[in-house]
Amino acid sequence: MKNYIDKKKIFFASVIIIALKSIFFLTKHIQEDALISWRVARNIIEYGVYGYNGAEKISASTTHLYVFIGVLFQSIFGEGNFIYPLLVFNTILLTIGIYWLGKLLLKSTNRIILFLLFVSFLPPAIKMSILGMEFGMLFFFYMALIKYGFVERKNWAFILLPIFILWTRIDTCIFLGILFIYDVIQQRKWNTALMIGGILAVLTTVAFNWFYFGEIVNNTITSKKNNYANPTLLERWTEFKFFGPNYFGMIKFPTSIYNFSTAILFILSLISLIVLAGKWDSNRKKVIGFLFAFGIIKTLIFGAANSWFDWYYWIPQICLFLPIILIVLDIDFYKKTALAYGIFILIPFTAYQAIHSIATGHGEWNHARKIGLYLDSIEPNKDNYIFLEPAGYIPYFSKLKVIDYVGLVDKRLTEENIVKNGTEVGFSNLINKAKPKYILEDFKPMFKGKLADQSIYDDYELIKEFKIADVAKSDNPILDKIYKFKPSGRDFYLYKRKETAK
């Protein structure tokens, strides 16, 4: 007899979980890259052009589909009111994806609800809800493909969903490739529908990039490749050892501590996976086996490439931690183990992320955003350029045109080949050609006085300093301790081009 699942009970539990997670919206913790995508969406609305600076076409966002979702939400709710509806939308999609996965792996209503709760409050899952990026939607598509394609063998899912997945992020080709290979091994035959879906996904994304932007891959990928130095194998290994534990695990601690804790969690998860594989049916076994394999391979690929942006690892982190949650919920006396999990893992993890989000959100919203608002107040001509890094909060709220130090939103930096010529020469050439009205820098003097063309220093003057120490404090004693415990942000110095400059 098939186990009865009370969908109404799960629905109301999901609403409560989403409401609880929404409390994190109050931290104002939003990732810089989300604001890049939202500005591109705004550019489409205002100029009818997929770009960043007015009528110039450029694929400045890593995610085409999420940009179009941003256009929809900004059109419906308006430029100033769309953020929270979009965050709720992301959270709902993530929760549906977690529910689909829970229903595939667990056989009772209460277990599925606990699974929803435990996965939803893992630190990466919280960030997937509140940071404004596309990963809640991506997790939804991943789980849809696993449910309707990998498990239920629906050809429409194998053909259609890879298109949505690759349009969400180009690096999802890793997920699709691993799924194809894993499925071939499981089924012992080629998956023609998934092959067709993968080919259509590649053709449509490449065709859009080529016919609209005149490029095969997104400019964000090209600019990082051209403007980041290529480390040696020894340098890669050194960075891998230093940064890896802070990204392959569930939360960030000092590296010396985290090497040990990451290893312990991984071993526990691997043991849990082996135990589950020994007692589960084939469908559940192949789902959790695939997710664990994907988690390992994705983290190794990006770790070997020294790609240390948090969001690359959010979904793999969840996949690698899943067996621990599942072993807690699979045993007969799961209520006792679930209580222990809640006390020793759920509450500490949630508290950690709360502290992290309060501190980071405060630093970004009340520091970087206010710099952008200050620029908006002093510069009415929004056709003027500012040269800065990063291209997130400050450009979004200043509304000025932007050249960033990596070339994500303007291609002129890539033309200067700073890897070959060095930043001193490349930045000097760019500033002399573009003549940005403002330069926002981390240092005084500007660029530590190291620009190749020293005459640039005569062309610009320091007009304002923005000190993080002025922001990282509060009259509330608890908030003040959090801000000092985990300071977020850095000092900025704003330089303006003199009217007498050539």
Indicate whether 294 and 385 sit together in one domain.
Answer: no
Cα 411 from Cα 415, distance rounded (Å): 7
Q: Which of 330, 348, 383 is the last residue of a domain?
A: 330
Q: Are residues 491 and 369 in the same domain?
A: yes
Q: Which residues contact 323 (CB under 8 A, 6 or more apart)?
A: 269, 270, 272, 273, 276, 288, 292
Q: In terms of domains, do 326 and 369 share one?
A: no
Domain stops at, among 312, 330, 348: 330
% the chain with pLDDT above 90: 76
Same domain, yes or no: 318 and 405: no
Q: State pLDDT tens for residues 17-50.
A: 999 999 999 999 999 999 999 999 999 999 999 9
Q: Where are the alpha helices (DSSP H) in 106-154?
A: 109-120, 123-130, 135-144
Please indicate, yes or no, whether residues 300 and 397 belong to a single structural domain of this protein.
no
Q: pLDDT tens-digit profile of 87-117?
A: 999 999 999 999 999 999 999 999 999 999 9
Q: Are residues 411 and 473 in the same domain?
A: yes
CA–CA gap between residue 51 and residue 29 (Å, rounded)? 25
Percent of the chain with pLDDT over 70: 98
Do the domain assignments include residue 376?
Answer: yes
Q: What is the mean pLDDT of residues 65-69?
A: 97
- For residue 314, being part of any structural domain is answered with yes
- Indicate if 366 and 468 belong to the same structural domain: yes
Q: Is 389 among the domain residues?
A: yes
Say if 343 falls within a structural domain: no
Among candidate residues 310, 330, 350, the one where a domain is terminated: 330
Domain match, 325 and 363 both: no
With bands split at pLDDT 50, 70 and 90, how would you rate the model's confidence at 120? very high
Residue 395 belongs to some domain of the structure: yes
Main-chain dihedrals φ then ψ at residue 249, nearest 5 degrees: -95, -165
Query: Would 339 be classed as within a structural domain?
Result: no
Q: Strand 401-404 and strand 385-388: pairing?
A: parallel
For the full predicted model, state whether its pTM sits above 0.85: yes
What mean pLDDT comes out for the span 451-476?
Answer: 92
Residue-range definition of the domain harbouring residue 308: 229-330
Looking at the fold, whether 320 and 366 belong to one and the same domain comes out as no
Each residue's pLDDT tens digit, 377-428: 999 999 999 999 988 999 999 999 999 999 999 999 888 888 788 899 999 9
Same domain? 275 vs 315: yes
Asked if 326 and 433 sit in the same domain, the reply is no
**Within-domain flag for 246:** yes
Segments in 209-254 forming alpha helices (H) = 219-227, 233-248
Q: What is the pLDDT of residue 1?
A: 38
Residue 259 lies in a domain: yes
- The answer to whether 18 touches 90, Cβ cutoff 8 Å, is no
Residues 325, 376 within the same domain:
no
Q: How many domains does the chain have?
A: 2
